Amino acid sequence: WKRTHYSQELDEDMDTESVTLMGWVHEIRDLGGIIFVLLRDRNGITQITAPSKKITPELLEQIRKFKKESVIAVKGTVQGSPKAPGGVEIIPTEVKVLNESKQPLPLDPTEKVRAEIDTRLDSRYLDLRKHSISAIFKIKSAMLHSVRIYLEEKGFMEVNTPKLVGSATEGGTELFPITYFEREAFLGQSPQLYKQMMMATGLDKVFEIAPIFRAEEHDTMRHLNEVISIDAEMAFADQEDAMNLLEKLVHNAIKEVKENCQAELEDLGVELEVPELPFPRLEYDEVIDIVNSRGVSLSHGEDLSRAAEKALGEAMDGYYFITNWPSEIKPFYVMPHEDAPEKSYAFDLMYRDLEISSGATRVHQHDLLVEQIKSKGLNPDSFQRYLAAFEYGMPPHAGWGLGAERFTMCITGMKNIRETVLFPRDRRRLTP
């Protein structure tokens, strides 16, 4: 037996043609003299209609024994039928159960019974049989594909850097310690130091799409402990170049998802809007005014609280940058303004109330970098190999990190970041 067609490839023009479909028993309705089976495959659903008048009693009995979510193969003839979903049905000539499903099911892939997210994540393989769930991952895949192609077209080379690392990059906390033979090591929280070292090689433009690990204590709708970070770094460039690249990449990814994932967006009920370029740029000081004017207190030098993010999200629809952050709340590798070092050339990209990316012009001068590491209370000795790269010809450079899951949330309209990961890792969840 070989599958000849997917559900979506069938149409009225194929009337009387013989086909072989393979998939899962989505639903079975036994009316005695006639049995309707809905067969679900990757792209759609086809009705198998088994009337006792047209098929043998043996075949009818075989079909009657079908169980929900068993894997079946059906040979039959196509028949145009205005009453059937998709306008065609299959009159079976032969059927085979390829693997029987146990009953009862831990959750219902027909979506008639709603399941809690924990139940769904425990049985993710069943959850993903719902087209409205697999749609999220088809869109995430299309987004990542478009990002790769876009960066390659702009002259960026894809690199892979280690995830087993010896020191922190984002400032000490939020690290997962691991045992590395007789030493302590950590799971990488960002490729930051590696992508910067790549700027001293002459390769000029690199990107990486890989997991980052953060020991986030809090259990929120937008934090995970393992996420995919899209990182880019470019030499002979500054914050403006980095922001220009990022906004165009975001714009392009949304445009491509809209063009190539129409069925998936429809499954999700999402009316995707391609944002206009350039994205608005707000200064950190303006953000404070906006937030304060909405009755949420935020003073200079503070990172955005959740309440501040929400107030800002109400004022700003869509994508926008926040620039000119206080150096105090940005990492050591961020370039301060020459004339006003309390301000930095750092930016965040926001979508409404959600931060989806951070980036900056980097410090490329060795001595200033050492000074900044010290001022953050870190020990330059633990950054020895990284710092050395700044002593033998490090060009000015800039870059950013974009969270793939948060970006997927923006595109798909998901409110919980767990919806955008096949097997999420959060405070409570380590299996499956």
User: Is 276 annotated in the active site?
Assistant: no
**How far apart are the C-alpha atoms of 283 and 325, rounded to whole Å?**
8
**How far apart are the C-alpha atoms of 186 and 163, rounded to whole Å?**
8
In sequence order, the 6+-apart residues with CB closer than 8 A to the CB of 123 are 106, 107
* Residue 24 vs 194, nearer CB to ligand AMO: 194
Could you tell me the end-to-end alpha-carbon distance of the chain, in angstroms, rounded to an integer?
Answer: 33
User: Is 355 annotated in the active site?
Assistant: yes
Q: Which of 174, 355, 371, 429 is catalytic?
A: 355
**How far apart are the C-alpha atoms of 90 and 75, rounded to whole Å?**
8
DSSP letter at 342 equals: T
344 binds, among ligand AMO, ligand ATP, none (CB under 5 to 8 A by kind): none
CB 327, CB 341: distance < 8 Å: yes
* Residue 231 vs 256, nearer CB to ligand AMO: 231
The one-letter code for the residue type at 162 is: P
Q: Find the helix or strand (DSSP H, E) in which 185 lies.
A: strand 183-187
Residue matched to tokens 């004339």: 339
User: Would you count residue 140 as binding ligand AMO (CB under 6 A)?
Assistant: no
Q: Which stretch binds ligand AMO (CB under 6 A): 25-33, 100-108, 314-322, 357-365?
A: 357-365
**How far apart are the C-alpha atoms of 126 and 103, rounded to whole Å?**
13
DSSP letter at 327 equals: G
Residues 352-391 contacting ligand ATP, CB under 6 A? 355, 358
CB of 296 to ligand ATP, least distance (A): 12
User: Is 129 annotated in the active site?
Assistant: no
303 binds, among ligand AMO, ligand ATP, none (CB under 5 to 8 A by kind): ligand ATP
Extract the tokens encoding 262: 């129409």
* Residue 49 vs 361, nearer CB to ligand AMO: 361
User: Going residue by residue from 201 to 240, which x/- string records binding to ligand AMO, judged by CB under 6 A?
Assistant: -------------x-x------xx--x-x-x---------
User: Is 222 annotated in the active site?
Assistant: yes
Can you tell me whether residue 97 is helix, strand or coil? strand
Give the Cα-Cα-Cα angle 101, 106, 108 (nearest 5 degrees): 85
User: Would you count residue 342 as binding ligand ATP (CB under 6 A)?
Assistant: no
Burial of 279 (0-12, 13-18, 19+ CB in 10 A): buried
Number of residues that bind ligand AMO (CB under 6 A): 23
Q: Count Cα neighbours of 422 within 13 Å in the Cβ-side half-sphere.
A: 12
Can you tell me whether residue 364 is helix, strand or coil? coil
Q: Which of 26, 131, 214, 397 is catalytic?
A: 214
287 binds, among ligand ATP, ligand AMO, none (CB under 5 to 8 A by kind): none
424 binds, among ligand ATP, ligand AMO, none (CB under 5 to 8 A by kind): none
Beta strands in 52-168 (DSSP E): 71-80, 88-99, 157-158, 164-165
* Residue 135 vs 410, nearer CB to ligand AMO: 410
User: Would you count residue 190 as binding ligand AMO (CB under 6 A)?
Assistant: yes
User: Going residue by residue from 149 to 178, which x/- string records binding to ligand AMO, judged by CB under 6 A?
Assistant: ---------------------x--------
Binder to ligand ATP among 15, 158, 273, 303 (CB under 6 A)?
303
Which residues contact ligand AMO (rule: CB under 6 A)? 170, 190, 192, 214, 216, 223-224, 227, 229, 231, 355-360, 399-401, 403, 405-406, 417
Catalytic center residues:
214, 216, 222-223, 355, 358, 406
